[in-house]
């Protein structure tokens, strides 16, 4: 590795590798397929830039962010390395210069956005250029259900096969499931040489706080770090703008960033952030993937991130220079409901949504942790360590209590109700609240009814939240968010283990009074509403129409509350007209109640009308008389359209009946049908 050491010193100015870099560089240099999972700020770029200089030919670097590519190309050129990038952000002169260098064989590294792979002729061009290997940065973007999915990353496998060269893939964010997806999509399922180089960022201080006047909490956190570069992540575009304005009013140099801004405005913020000291960017997650600013001193989350992987990646933008950095994440029940609904409304398969609920549970477990947060975070990624002494829980340990009995009561309530209900209904049972829903299902007769009166409702909500944080319960996407017990809970039920819960969370939940959040439906019906929205979204995309054209939110909310089980019930929902009922009724019924029996089109047109009930009664009578009064005659029946005509026309004499049914059918069914019609009059 003498040449590597020489280049490391002469080109990059380092006397030695960081832990884990050397063996990755060697494997890439030797032409092996490589997957390297390294912590953010751990020096991933060097692991492909250095081998690119050691190997003959051209190295292609696939990267998702134009700003990052331009920064790396600029840095390499400053170091005397011939590098270029072909991006949509290039000027015509820059693009011409890259093509000239490529034609002349001078380039050592060519950066491409994944979208460039869709352009015609690019593979033939790269074949002629003598590509030596392909480096893939932010390789987790290949994961189709990940938070940073880029569809054109799926083309990289095709590029690898066409060029017949090795691939080195790098990411800081990949659990075992995502790693397998990278192997499948980039390496055709053939395991590459894999390097897992640790997730610990010991210079980053971790902290969580329950939301309590969240704007004031963010302003206070920023005030204590005035003049330092920071990022505040928000869940909505509107919040980025209002919070940035509030920070400026407090004297901070702050701006906002989100995906709804004009491209030039976004580039301006990116440029300012890279250029200015002490700038605070208040942003959605659209900002930051690949941010390489080394001196970001703090990252705050004004809203709970989407998953523990997203949290890890976002806080990883702080302290890339290795100096101390701080983070603070706010969380509250509204955040959790939002993240749950986003998962439930996604079009991902059920098993993926279940896994995403598990990832969110892992983040809640970090938020509700009892001991060192770093230990909790690292254990999720399969690592262990001693208490770090550099997180809020190491600074001030929390008070805990034995929550074993409370958890067992909650699990018992879930199991005795068939795991078909959410936390709200289970808490009603535990508190002995004989609501209409509890009584209708006979749950007031359960042994668990009223056994949990030692806590109030808010305290039980805290227990259930902590149980999900421990991944003892998960919302079941197939049951519209009903809580199901995980395997991790079985030892508690069997009295084989105990569990501690946070006392301060329980106390705060009991003592704090929050204003009621006005929502479209109750918390109990929210998961079903999310499922209905997901179906609406799929239908709208298939029809290329806005979602509200299918049904508006109010109509879906009424469906979620009323839970119609038949087309007749569905027809009674406000906003469900005859045409929409015929076109979409069965689709939404299937979401609400599972399999829906096939209904003849003639009957479907009568749904919600009095004639529909008449049709059903006529059908019953016809079944009884299909072989005549004596039950021995030749079988006979009317067509569905004939029954529908009878139900709508309601003939009051046998003559009119005969004109609809014909002589033979009128003879067998006429008198009985007239009795049904007269009873309905």
d(CA 365, CA 541): 35
pLDDT at position 346: 84
DSSP 635: P
CB count in 10 Å sphere of residue 192: 19
CA atoms within 13 A on the CB side of 76: 23
Backbone angles phi, psi at 324, to 5 degrees: -55, 140
Question: In this predicted model, which residue has the larger pLDDT, 523 or 147?
Answer: 523
From the centroid of its chain, how far is CA 135? 27
d(CA 648, CA 155): 58
Q: Any idea which of 132-136, 288-292, 325-329, 382-386 has the lowest mean pLDDT?
A: 288-292
d(CA 484, CA 29): 49
Pairing of strands 280-283, 230-233: parallel
Given pLDDT bands bounded at 50, 70 and 90, which one contains residue 276?
confident
Q: What is the pLDDT of residues 528-553, one digit of tens each?
A: 988 898 898 888 888 776 676 788 77
Q: What is the pLDDT of residues 489-520, one digit of tens each?
A: 999 999 899 999 988 666 655 444 333 334 56
Q: What is the pLDDT of residues 568-586, one digit of tens each?
A: 888 888 778 777 888 888 8
Q: What is the pLDDT of residues 106-165, one digit of tens each?
A: 999 999 988 888 776 788 888 888 899 999 998 888 876 665 777 888 888 888 998 999
Q: What is the pLDDT of residues 456-495, one digit of tens each?
A: 998 998 899 889 888 899 988 788 889 999 999 999 999 8
CB count in 10 Å sphere of residue 462: 25
Question: In this predicted model, which residue has the larger pLDDT, 418 or 197?
Answer: 418
Dump the DSSP string for 492-559: HHTTS---EEEHHHHHHHHH---PPPP-SS-TTTHHHHHHHHHHHHHHHHHHTS-HHHH--HHHHHHH
Backbone angles phi, psi at 325, to 5 degrees: -140, 160
Sign of CA dihedral 300, 303, 308, 310: negative
CB 463 within 8 A of CB 331: no
Tokens 């149980």, residue?
Answer: 467
pLDDT at position 624: 87
Q: What is the pLDDT of residues 298-337, one digit of tens each?
A: 999 999 998 888 898 899 889 877 778 999 999 987 888 8
Q: What is the pLDDT of residues 387-422, one digit of tens each?
A: 999 999 999 998 899 999 999 999 999 999 999 999
d(CA 314, CA 439): 47
H/E segment holding residue 78: helix 66-78
> In Å, how far are 203, 600, 615 from 610, measured between CA atoms?
71, 17, 9
Dump the DSSP string for 551-606: --HHHHHHHHHH---SHHHHHTSTT--HHHHHHHHHHHHHHHHS------HHHHTT
d(CA 262, CA 269): 11
Answer whether CATH 3.60.15.10 is correct for domain 400-511. no
pLDDT at position 490: 94
Q: What is the pLDDT of residues 64-103, one digit of tens each?
A: 877 778 778 877 887 788 999 988 778 888 889 989 998 8
Protein fold of 526-598: DNA polymerase; domain 1 (1.10.150)
Find the distance separating the first CA and the last CA of the chain, reported in whole Å: 96
Which pair of tokens denotes residue 304?
A: 């709970």
Dump the DSSP string for 127-149: HHHTEEEEEESSGGGG-TTSTT-
pLDDT at position 234: 95
Angle made by CA atoms 178, 182, 188, in degrees to the nearest 5: 140
d(CA 49, CA 55): 10
Domain boundaries, the chain: 2-196, 204-340+364-395, 400-511, 526-598, 614-680
CB 545 within 8 A of CB 575: no
CB 529 within 8 A of CB 556: yes
Given pLDDT bands bounded at 50, 70 and 90, which one contains residue 212?
confident
d(CA 408, CA 403): 9
Which pair of tokens denotes residue 555?
A: 């109509």
Backbone angles phi, psi at 597, to 5 degrees: -65, 145
Angle made by CA atoms 591, 594, 597, in degrees to the nearest 5: 115
d(CA 579, CA 300): 49
User: Which residue from 163, 165, 181, 170 is spatially nearest to 63, judged by alpha carbons?
Assistant: 170
Which pair of tokens denotes residue 193?
A: 């040489």
**Helix (H, G, I), strand (E, B), or coil: what is residue 628?**
coil
**Helix (H, G, I), strand (E, B), or coil: what is residue 232?**
strand
Q: Tell whether the model's pLDDT for residue 215 goes beyond 80.
A: yes
Residues 6+ apart with CB under 8 A from 540: 546, 547, 549, 550
**Torsion from C-alpha of 320, 321, 325, 331, nearest 10 degrees:** -10
Q: What is the pLDDT of residues 613-663, one digit of tens each?
A: 888 889 888 888 888 887 788 889 898 889 989 988 899 888 888 888 888
What is the CATH architecture of 2-196? 3-Layer(aba) Sandwich (3.40)
Q: What is the pLDDT of residues 348-367, one digit of tens each?
A: 888 888 888 888 989 999 99
User: Which residue from 367, 336, 368 is spatially nearest to 527, judged by alpha carbons?
Assistant: 336
Q: Tell whether the model's pLDDT for residue 289 goes beyond 60.
A: no
| Cut 0.85: pTM above it | no
Protein fold of 204-340+364-395: Rossmann fold (3.40.50)
CB 290 within 8 A of CB 62: no
Tokens 């819960």, residue?
Answer: 501
Q: Tell whether the model's pLDDT for residue 680 goes beyond 80.
A: no
Sign of CA dihedral 21, 24, 30, 34: negative
d(CA 403, CA 426): 17
Task: Please tell me if the domain spanning 204-340+364-395 has the same topology as the one spanning 526-598.
Answer: no
Dump the DSSP string for 263-324: HHHHHHHHHHHHH-TT-EEEE-TTS-TT---TT--EEEESS--SSHHHHHHHHTTS-TTSS-
CB 400 within 8 A of CB 537: no
Given pLDDT bands bounded at 50, 70 and 90, which one contains residue 292?
low
DSSP 106: -
Backbone angles phi, psi at 170, to 5 degrees: -130, 140
pLDDT at position 290: 47
Report the interhelical angle of 373-380 vs 350-367 (nearest 10°): 160
d(CA 376, CA 364): 11
């Amino acid at each position: 590795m003498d040449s590597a050491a020489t280049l490391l010193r002469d080109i990059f100015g380092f006397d030695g590798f960081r832990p884990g870099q050397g063996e990755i560089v060697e494997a890439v240099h030797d032409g092996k397929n490589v997957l390297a999972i390294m912590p953010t700020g751990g020096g991933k770029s060097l692991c492909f830039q250095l081998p690119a200089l050691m190997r003959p030919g051209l190295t292609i670097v696939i990267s998702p962010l134009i700003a990052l590519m331009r920064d790396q190309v600029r840095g390499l050129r400053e170091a005397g390395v011939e590098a270029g990038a072909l991006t949509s952000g290039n000027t015509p002169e820059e693009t011409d210069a890259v093509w000239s260098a490529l034609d002349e064989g001078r380039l050592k590294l060519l950066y491409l956005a994944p979208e460039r792979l869709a352009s015609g002729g690019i593979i033939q061009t790269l074949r002629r250029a003598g590509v030596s290997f392909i480096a893939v940065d932010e390789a987790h973007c290949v994961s189709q259900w990940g938070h940073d999915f880029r569809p054109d990353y799926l083309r990289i496998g095709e590029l690898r096969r066409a060029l017949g060269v090795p691939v080195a893939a790098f990411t800081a964010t990949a659990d075992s499931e995502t790693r397998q997806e990278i192997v499948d999509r980039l390496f055709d399922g053939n395991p590459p040489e894999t390097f897992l180089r640790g997730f610990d960022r010991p210079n980053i201080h971790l902290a969580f706080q329950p939301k309590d006047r969240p704007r004031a909490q963010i302003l206070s956190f920023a005030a204590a770090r005035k003049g330092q570069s920071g990022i505040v992540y928000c869940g909505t575009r509107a919040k980025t703008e209002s919070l940035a304005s509030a920070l400026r009013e407090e004297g901070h140099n702050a701006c906002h960033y989100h995906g709804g801004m004009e491209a030039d405005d976004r580039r301006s913020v990116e440029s300012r952030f890279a250029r200015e000291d002490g700038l605070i960017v208040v942003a959605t997650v659209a900002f930051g993937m690949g941010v390489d600013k080394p001196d970001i001193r703090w990252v705050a989350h004004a809203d709970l991130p989407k998953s523990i992987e997203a949290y890890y990646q976002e806080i990883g933008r702080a302290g890339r220079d290795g100096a101390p950095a701080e983070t603070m994440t706010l969380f509250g029940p509204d955040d959790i409901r939002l993240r749950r609904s986003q998962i439930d409304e996604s079009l991902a398969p059920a098993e993926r949504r279940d896994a995403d609920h598990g990832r969110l549970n892992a983040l809640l477990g970090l938020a509700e942790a009892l001991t060192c947060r770093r230990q909790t975070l690292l254990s999720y990624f399969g690592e262990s360590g001693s208490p770090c002494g550099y997180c809020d829980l190491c600074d001030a340990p929390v008070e805990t209590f034995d929550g074993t009995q409370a958890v067992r009561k909650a699990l018992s309530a879930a199991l005795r109700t068939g795991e078909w209900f959410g936390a709200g209904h289970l808490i009603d049972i535990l508190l002995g609240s004989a609501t209409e829903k509890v009584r209708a299902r006979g749950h007031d007769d359960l042994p668990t009814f009223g056994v949990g009166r030692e806590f109030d409702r808010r305290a039980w909500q805290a227990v259930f939240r902590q149980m999900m944080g421990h991944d003892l319960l998960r919302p079941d996407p197939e049951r519209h968010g009903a809580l199901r017990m995980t395997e991790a809970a079985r030892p508690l039920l069997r009295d084989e283990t105990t569990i501690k819960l946070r006392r301060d969370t329980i106390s705060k939940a009991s003592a704090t009074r929050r204003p009621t959040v006005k929502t479209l439906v109750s918390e109990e019906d929210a998961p079903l509403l999310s499922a209905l929205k997901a179906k609406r979204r799929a239908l709208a995309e298939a029809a290329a129409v806005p979602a509200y054209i299918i049904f508006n939110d109010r109509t879906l909310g009424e469906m979620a509350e009323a839970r119609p089980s038949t087309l007749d019930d569905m027809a009674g929902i406000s906003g469900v007209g005859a045409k929409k009922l015929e076109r979409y009724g069965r689709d939404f019924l299937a979401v609400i109640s599972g399999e829906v029996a096939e209904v003849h089109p003639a009957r479907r047109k009568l749904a919600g009308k009095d004639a529909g009930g008449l049709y059903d009664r006529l059908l019953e009578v016809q079944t009884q008389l299909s072989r005549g009064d004596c039950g021995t005659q030749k079988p006979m029946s009317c067509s569905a359209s004939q029954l529908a005509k009878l139900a709508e026309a309601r003939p009051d004499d046998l003559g009119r009946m005969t004109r609809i049914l014909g002589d033979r059918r009128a003879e067998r069914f006429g008198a009985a049908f007239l009795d049904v019609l007269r009873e309905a009059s």
